[in-house]
A = this chain, B = another copy of it.
Amino acid sequence: MANYQKILVAVDLSSESKVVLRKAQLIAGSSAEIYLIYVQEPMDNVYVGIVPQSAAFSGLGDLEAQLGEELKQKLLALGETFEIPAERLHILNGSPAHEIHRFAEENAVQLIVIGTHGQKGLQLLLGSTANAVLHGAACDVLSVRIGASR
């Protein structure tokens, strides 16, 4: 059995993304392909029920496009730092767990690497992205503990 050859690293583009990527690179063999993925949730998903649907928010589409451009630049910079070819950097749109599963299956990914803060209590019940990714994944999942002491 060979080591993981196709690895999907899902990041939130925070500064902690580097920790997650570094772990993925340590596990990856020299011949492994790493896909670096960011999933942008549509703003109307995020804000539904929080902000009123008024004319003041008709600019949401523009804002989303602007944010998308900023995220793209961040992803490109991160890819450059870790020497991941531009064709393996992807911004997907939709629900994170769903998009990660879909991309993993379409690209025959063998390992998904994702950061987690190790939710407890209520957060555990509500579920986290790492939790949602774990369930329903057709491949192995490495959950990298963020902010851990070791």
Contact residues of A with B, CB < 8 Å? 1-4, 22-23, 26-27, 108, 110, 116, 118-120, 124, 130-131, 134-145, 148-150
**Cβ–Cβ contact B110 & A138, under 8 A:** no
Q: A1-B26, A134-B116 are in contact. Are A150 and B139 (CB under 8 A)?
A: yes
Evaluate contact between A134 and B144: CB separation under 8 angstroms. no
Q: Report yes or no: B140 in contact with A143, Cβ–Cβ below 8 A.
A: yes
Select from chain B the residue with minimum beta-carbon distance to A146: B140
Is B137's CB under 8 angstroms from A145's CB?
A: yes
The distance in angstroms between the C-alpha atoms of A113 and B5, with both chains bound, is 19
Q: In whole angstroms, what is the CA distance A124 to B110 when docked? A: 22
Tell me whether A135 and B118 are in contact in the complex, defined as CB-CB below 8 angstroms, given that A140-B143, A142-B140, A143-B141 are known contacts.
Answer: yes
A selection of 26 A-B contacts at a CB cut-off of 8 Å is: A1-B22, A2-B26, A3-B26, A3-B27, A4-B26, A23-B140, A27-B27, A116-B134, A118-B134, A118-B137, A119-B135, A120-B135, A120-B136, A131-B131, A131-B135, A134-B143, A138-B145, A138-B148, A138-B150, A139-B145, A139-B150, A140-B142, A140-B144, A141-B143, A141-B145, A142-B142
